[in-house]
């Protein structure tokens, strides 16, 4: 019942929330650990097995949620819906199951989106899989569909949580935020991210020399004090690793995150001059305090993130 409901785009998301719970002590990269609610009885073997698999169920629910979006995509294609077709590959800013209306949820009213994204997906996984290559070829060559653009969101899962602590020097009084970063560790990670993006761009260009690719690098995220094991988890990705390195909750934590994400944004914006057809969507300052947790905007925050992507698409004549 659960997985069937998740995969059915005609079932409202509000109806699905009672079937899902999270483990507040666990986080998987930029996503909470999701699993079927233990207070709800499930009869079908798939949901029972999902419960037994514990944290691994995030993959199961990601797949079910992807199937939900795929069903909507196929319905629109079958109906010859005139909305432009877009490919989307990314992380939880493009797919945050159930609890938030994410970027793709908001864009779906204007575009028919084939979304490959998954909460918790790292850039390295996307680069190794290059899943969009086969999907795009199928859409173009087998189904004769005209893909108008590709949206790409990746890198956040590669730098948060325990990984984030590796980029920090131990706390020392009087340090400015920029001096708190372990320069060598951070530069090595940033170089890995830039290389991964470059490999994606080159793979896209082999398929299509001119397809617009829209990328972004997040807004300045929101480190929080411990939130007392709220469900779904509100913290654990930023504030916690900084506290472990001796940085108390407060302004310095926020400044450290801002310094790091400013470097990511500047680096990703430089793609525009290095790779033809790449367009940087600048989401800095968009959320304006409307954070659902440390890393993800609220519905209204994501609404404005989606508006940023939509504005860029419209400038490209995709509307």
3-class SS letters over 86-104 = EEEEECCCCCCCCCCCCHH
Both tokens of 36, joined, read 């079927």
Long-range Cβ contacts of 130-136 (<8 Å, 24+ apart): 130/200, 130/203, 131/89, 132/87, 132/89, 132/203, 132/204, 133/203, 133/207, 135/87, 136/87, 136/207, 136/208
pLDDT recorded at residue 56: 36
Peptide bond into 232 cis (omega under 30): yes
What is residue 225's three-state secondary structure? Answer: coil
Both tokens of 201, joined, read 């761009």
What parts of the chain have a pLDDT lower than 70?
A: 1-9, 13, 15-62, 231
pLDDT recorded at residue 26: 60
Q: Cα–Cα distance between 140 and 69 in angstroms, integer? A: 19
**8 A C-beta contact, residue 313 and residue 279:** no
Q: Cα–Cα distance between 27 and 161 in angstroms, integer? A: 8
Residue 169 per-residue DSSP state: P
Burial of 15 (0-12, 13-18, 19+ CB in 10 A): exposed
pLDDT recorded at residue 51: 34
- CA quadruple 89, 293, 100, 308: dihedral sign: negative
Residue 180 per-residue DSSP state: G
pLDDT recorded at residue 66: 79
**8 A C-beta contact, residue 124 and residue 197:** no
Both tokens of 158, joined, read 């590669």
pLDDT recorded at residue 102: 96
Pairing of strands 31-36, 20-28: antiparallel
pLDDT recorded at residue 68: 83
Query: In the chain, what percentage of residues exceed pLDDT 70?
Result: 81
Q: Cα–Cα distance between 65 and 72 in angstroms, integer? A: 11
For 30, other C-beta atoms within 10 Å of its C-beta total 27
pLDDT recorded at residue 246: 97
What is residue 280's three-state secondary structure? Answer: strand
């Amino acid at each position: 019942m659960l997985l069937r409901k998740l995969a059915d785009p005609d079932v409202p998301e509000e109806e699905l929330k009672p079937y899902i719970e999270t483990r507040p002590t666990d986080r998987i990269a930029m996503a909470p650990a999701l699993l079927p609610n233990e207070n709800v009885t499930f009869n079908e073997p798939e949901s029972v097995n999902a419960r037994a698999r514990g944290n691994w169920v995030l993959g199961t629910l990601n797949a079910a949620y992807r199937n939900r979006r795929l069903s909507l995509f196929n319905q629109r294609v079958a109906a010859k819906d005139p909305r432009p077709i877009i490919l989307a590959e990314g992380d939880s800013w493009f797919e945050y199951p159930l609890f938030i209306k994410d970027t793709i949820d908001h864009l779906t009213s204007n575009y028919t989106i084939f979304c490959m994204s998954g909460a918790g997906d790292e850039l390295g996984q996307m680069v190794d899989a290059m899943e969009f290559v086969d999907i795009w070829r199928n859409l173009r060559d087998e189904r004769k569909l005209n893909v108008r653009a590709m949206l790409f969101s990746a890198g956040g899962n590669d730098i948060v949580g325990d990984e984030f602590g590796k980029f920090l020097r131990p706390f020392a009084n009087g340090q400015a935020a920029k001096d708190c970063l372990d320069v060598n560790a951070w530069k090595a990670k940033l170089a890995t991210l830039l290389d991964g993006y470059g490999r994606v761009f080159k793979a896209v260009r082999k398929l299509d020399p001119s397809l617009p690719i829209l990328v972004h690098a997040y807004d300045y995220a929101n480190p929080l004090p411990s939130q007392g094991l709220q469900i779904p988890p509100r913290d654990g990705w930023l504030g916690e690793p900084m506290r472990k390195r001796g940085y108390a909750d407060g302004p310095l934590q926020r400044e450290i995150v801002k310094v790091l994400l400013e470097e990511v944004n500047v680096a990703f914006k430089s793609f525009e001059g290095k790779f033809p057809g790449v367009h940087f969507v600048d989401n800095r300052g968009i959320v304006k305090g409307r954070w659902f947790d440390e890393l993800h905007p609220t519905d209204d925050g994501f609404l404005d993130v989606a508006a940023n992507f939509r504005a860029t698409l419209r400038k490209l004549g995709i509307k």
